[in-house]
Amino acid sequence: LDRITFSDPLFVPQKTFDLQVHLQHHEGEIHPETSSGSEFGTPHSTVQISLHLFLDESLRETREVSLEPGKKQVASFPLQFDTPGYHTGYFQIEDEALEFDNRRFFSFYIPKRLKVLIVEGKEDEGFYVERALSPSMQIGSIFLPKVISPQELDQEDLNLYQAIGLFNVKRLSTPSLSRLLDYTDRGRGLFIALGEGMDIPFYTQPLLRLFSIQLSPPERTPINRSQFLTLTNLDVNHPLLSVFQDPKKGDLTLVKFFRHHPLVEKEGSRVLARFTNGDPALLGGEKRVLLMAAPPTLVWSDLPLKALFVPFFHRIFRYLSQGEERDLDLLVGEPLNFPLDSLSGSIRVETPNGETFFLEPSFREKGERLTVHFDQTETPGLYHLHSGEEVILFAVNGDSEESDLSRIERAEIEEVLESAFGGHLDWVEKEAPLRSSLYGTRLSTDLTRPLLFLTFLFLIAEMAIARRWKVSSQ
């Protein structure tokens, strides 16, 4: 069992996703019928294995899988959950000689309904986004959006919301800006869509801090809908855009933009998409923040008319609402660094073998959030982190590269040993005489003569000492 992945890393209730396990039949792996070490590096025939999926402490499904030697294969299991919370389990295979890679654990979290605060600079600037997140405020929506004005933001309790969106907000009061920056420092999500009449001096420092970007005013030329820009260079490795690798899920490159705010990139800026003229269109940051160089209105683009408008903004606020990435899948020996929203009660970790560790959270760096650090992850399995009444489940697995028992090539050995010890590595062929081979390397030295000379000096010294001792005794 090589690794476990998900078809969509942004989980929501009542939405199907694929749990994917990657399998590989390594050439040269020892099997029960050929357990001799001489079998290393030799190909084997196709094997049949039973693959079991255990989910939430129950056997969910069993499949028979054929694995060809040296080949990789992915088995997908569609899942859907109606209720939020943590879900854990593992895949297990049988009839393998190496028990180390017989089982691989996983953990993931289905979030609760997500409260989103939409701040619109002008009335109805956030209309399309509000309707996309919750059409007719239907009960089945996973979002609970609330729309307010910038003036109302001063009285709003930001802790009630998992994400906040600013749509064409020209400027904010100093207290509101300070609270928003603190909000992002605590790992909460913020989306900014630039629009008409932005106060550029006001946004200079916040945008530099969050996105390493500088704002320029939009061009004042009249809008000509026959002339437009589209999107290119999408970063499909980012969780927000990964689903759009498949054109069937929506093609963002078909959206037409008639106006946008030019943005000046600085060192450290992360551009997720560009306009066809090279200007940044969508940016991320070190925090859970996103910046769009045009608002989602019909004056600036035809994005609200596209079928992908709804899924696109669902992904934006699903991504922002899930806080910073909580890595629930570690390798043996990797430390867990888990951020906390608040400290309530004692913190302890229960390991798969029954041990309990009590932990003290700390601020790892100035200005960062309170974090739990745990490095006793030597045992594969499922770990339970208790923080007050909350229980976080995370999985620890062995490194799948250790399952590859195929022959190591000379170049790989040279790369590892030379980088570890430095210098040049000389090889002695199996058929060559060892003595003559060592004499031929520049790392060997004939010590015969120096050792004979040192022996001679020791004999002379011993004789001198013995003679002096004899004279003194007389």
Tens digits of residue pLDDT in 24-33:
876 554 444 4
Share of the chain above pLDDT 90, in %: 35
Q: Is 212 within 8 Å of 190 (Cβ atoms)?
A: no
Give the length of the chain. Answer: 474
Tens digits of residue pLDDT in 274-295:
999 999 999 998 888 999 999 9
Q: How confident is the model at residue 40 (pLDDT cuts 50, 70, 90)?
A: very low
d(CA 120, CA 166): 6
d(CA 250, CA 272): 16
Q: Is 167 within 8 Å of 148 (Cβ atoms)?
A: no
Residue 446: predicted pLDDT: 67
Q: How confident is the model at residue 221 (pLDDT cuts 50, 70, 90)?
A: low
Say yes or no to pLDDT of 164 above 70: yes
- Kindly state the average pLDDT of the residues 86-101: 78
Tens digits of residue pLDDT in 373-425:
899 999 999 999 998 778 889 999 988 776 666 667 777 777 777 777 766 67
Query: Collapsing DSSP states into helix, strand and coil, what is residue 467?
Result: helix
d(CA 275, CA 301): 12
Give the residue carrying structure tokens 């790369």.
415
Give the highest mean pLDDT range of 63-72, 218-227, 352-361: 352-361
Residue 59: predicted pLDDT: 94
Tens digits of residue pLDDT in 177-204:
999 999 998 888 999 999 888 888 898 8
CA distances, 59 to each of 3, 53, 277, 296, 394 (Å):
19, 6, 53, 46, 19
Q: Is 210 within 8 Å of 189 (Cβ atoms)?
A: no
d(CA 456, CA 145): 94
Residue 208: predicted pLDDT: 84
Q: What is the dihedral of CA 375, 380, 384, 387, to 10 degrees?
A: 10
Say yes or no to pLDDT of 270 above 70: yes
Q: What is the mean pLDDT of the chain?
A: 82
Say yes or no to pLDDT of 350 above 70: yes
Residue 444: predicted pLDDT: 55
Q: For residue 344, give both structure tokens.
A: 């309530």
d(CA 217, CA 199): 9
Residue 118: predicted pLDDT: 95
- Kindly state the average pLDDT of the residues 353-358: 93
Residue 327: predicted pLDDT: 63
Q: Taking the chain, what is the end-to-end CA distance rounded to the nearest angstrom?
A: 84
Where do the H-state alpha helices sit in 271-329?
309-321
